[in-house]
Amino acid sequence: MGFASSIGKYQLGRTIGEGNFAKVKLAVNEHNGQYVAIKIIDKKMSDTFQVQREIRTMKLLHHPNIVRIHEVLGTKTKIYIVMEYASGGSLSDKMSYSKKLNECEAKKLFQQLIDAMDYCHNKGVYHRDLKPENLLLDGKGNLKVSDFGLSALRKPDNVLTTACGSPCYVAPELLSSKGYDGAAADVWSCGVILFELLAGHLPFDDNNLMNLYRKIWRAEYKCPPWFTGSQKKLISKIIQPNAVKRITIPEIIEHEWFQTDYVPACGSACDQDIHLDDVNAAFDSVEENVSKTTISKSSSFINAFQLIAMSQDLDLSGLFVEQDRKKQTTRLGSKHTINETIEKIETAATDVRLSVERMNKFMVKMHRKQILTRSSRSCYDLSAKVIEVAPTHCVVEVSKSAGDLRMYEEFCESLSSLLTEKSGVPSEIQESVEVSIDGKNKQDNACSEELSCEENKGLLWL
């Protein structure tokens, strides 16, 4: 994809970042010689609403630890967001070669992050995707929070429902289908980042996505031996799985460890006039480019958070808490179409001498053939529900509310074998979940195909 050598008064230089539908280029203001970063977005490929939200949110924020937007330009096909240039690169780049930071440097960056989030929350803005990739550093090593594309403004009831973020940094309350407090979710992510800065590795890390979520849900982590008592105490209060009991930002600021060598940063004391004329002009430059577009068809797989968001039935909290012992439930993965999956359920039922009745396109009820009478049709042993997450990917949830446990186990074993005939690998979700993601893009919010968070720490739930 080619770009002009200049846009307005800005001379474009090398590419310093790249995403699915955007590039970030280093540029220089020809009038004053100032370096800037220009995010170039393809109008046809981007989510216009999300881009506008990011721009408007960042224009509201005036803080030394938040990347500033200078202006927005537009052509028939592109949006150019002219931003403050952070010459130190991202915090993730720094961590890749520095591993863990010393206490002094880690504390300074954490203090600046908390200051920035305190300012955002007071403005009614929740970031919701805090991670080292979205934290930049200027030439003096000061932190700059960037990428407010997933941010949200405070609602009247102060409850958010759209779940988003990156799996290694996401708060446990976002794994359920209930509402959550955006401020508490940001605090959790800050705690994970602090742990990573001090330890050199993540508190929650697992190649298996379900195992990762279980660790997050239960807050299962282990501090390295070099952590001090004060550090452990603060981190335990931040990485608190119960959002109601989690420490707040004002309480973090008052903590003894945080207060040491703390120099508060000051944001804009008063609300400045927010001019959006350049934003409106940039997006209105060509009418047909303003409409919201969908993800490129070349992306043939969905990510794990999108999978969850497709159905309320995939509330992950059920995977981490003790299930009802009276009702056995097994979840199986299927790399077949929904019709093929239903056929395999029917075949598995026949194998163990069960009668099948289709309730609808997605639900099948099963019971023993010998009790199939008019008076007993409502007393079923098994049910199988199919949830379609992609054209050739489904989740089968098998439940037993009554009847013989042995027959239930035989059915699940038969169905599991049938569902994995092509690949020949086990597919039970409780043991392994595989989600294929295009991992070529460093700015993707998706983990790698093996879902290794050390190699690629992003995952987006939209």
Q: Is 215 annotated as a binding residue?
A: no
Inside any domain, residue 341: yes
Query: Is the separation of the CB atoms in 40 and 23 below 8 Å?
Result: yes
Specify the pLDDT at position 316: 52
Specify the pLDDT at position 428: 39
Domain containing residue 377: CATH number = 3.30.310.80
DSSP for 24-55 reads EEEEEETTT--EEEEEEEETTTS-HHHHHHHH
Specify the pLDDT at position 4: 58
Among the candidates 259, 277, 304, a domain finishes at 259
Among the candidates 60, 85, 110, a domain finishes at 85
> Are 25 and 70 members of one domain?
yes
> Are 392 and 350 members of one domain?
yes
Least confident range from 228-232, 291-295, 331-335: namely 291-295
Domain containing residue 125: CATH number = 1.10.510.10
Q: Which comes out higher in pLDDT, residue 457 or 399? A: 399
> Are 77 and 95 members of one domain?
no
> Are 175 and 76 members of one domain?
no
Specify the pLDDT at position 422: 55
Give the list of residues 6+ apart from residue 198 with CB closer than 8 angstroms, or none: 100, 101, 103, 106, 224, 227, 231
> Are 122 and 80 members of one domain?
no
**Residue spans of alpha helices (H) in 154-248:** 182-199, 209-218, 229-238
Tens of pLDDT, residues 405-433 = 788 888 888 898 888 775 444 443 333 33
Among the candidates 85, 100, 122, a domain finishes at 85
CA 290 – CA 328 distance, rounded (Å):
49
Inside any domain, residue 389: yes
Domain residue limits at 13? 6-85
Inside any domain, residue 444: no
Least confident range from 211-215, 393-397, 423-427: namely 423-427
> Are 117 and 217 members of one domain?
yes
3 state SS of 119 = helix
CA 200 – CA 198 distance, rounded (Å):
6
Q: How confident is the model at residue 58 (pLDDT cuts 50, 70, 90)?
A: confident
Exposed e or buried b for every residue in 187-196, given b needs 16+ CB within 10 A? bbbbbbbbbb
Query: Is the separation of the CB atoms in 111 and 253 below 8 Å?
Result: no
Highest mean pLDDT among 45-59, 138-152, 238-252, 273-287: 238-252
Specify the pLDDT at position 244: 95
pTM of the model: 0.64
Q: How confident is the model at residue 437 (pLDDT cuts 50, 70, 90)?
A: very low
> Are 75 and 109 members of one domain?
no
Domain containing residue 44: CATH number = 3.30.200.20
Angle at 48 between CA 44 and CA 52, to 5 degrees: 140
Q: How confident is the model at residue 277 (pLDDT cuts 50, 70, 90)?
A: low
Inside any domain, residue 286: no
- Section 379-387 average pLDDT: 74
- Section 356-370 average pLDDT: 78
> Are 145 and 58 members of one domain?
no
Neighbours of 248 (CB within 10 A): 16
Which is the catalytic residue, given 115, 118, 129, 186?
A: 129
> Are 100 and 63 members of one domain?
no
CA 105 from chain centre, in angstroms, equals 27
Based on the residue annotation, tell me whether 129 is a catalytic residue of this protein. Answer: yes
> Are 30 and 67 members of one domain?
yes
Inside any domain, residue 426: no
CA 127 – CA 431 distance, rounded (Å):
33
Tens of pLDDT, residues 1-57 = 445 588 999 999 999 888 767 899 999 999 999 999 999 998 877 677 778 888 888
Tens of pLDDT, residues 65-95 = 999 999 999 888 889 999 999 999 999 999 9
> Are 109 and 237 members of one domain?
yes
Q: Phi/psi zone of residue 127: left (φ > 0), alpha (ψ -120 to 50 degrees), beta?
A: alpha
Specify the pLDDT at position 278: 62
Residue 446 has pLDDT above 50, yes or no: no
DSSP for 316-373 reads GGGGTSPPPTTSEEEEEEE-S-HHHHHHHHHHHHHHTTEEEEE-SSSEEEEEEGGG--
Specify the pLDDT at position 407: 81
> Are 35 and 133 members of one domain?
no
* Token couple for 374: 């008019």
Count of domains observed in the chain = 3
Only one residue has tokens 């790399």, namely 335
Helix (H) or strand (E) holding 376: none
Residue 289 has pLDDT above 70, yes or no: no
Mean pLDDT for all residues in the chain: 77
Inside any domain, residue 76: yes
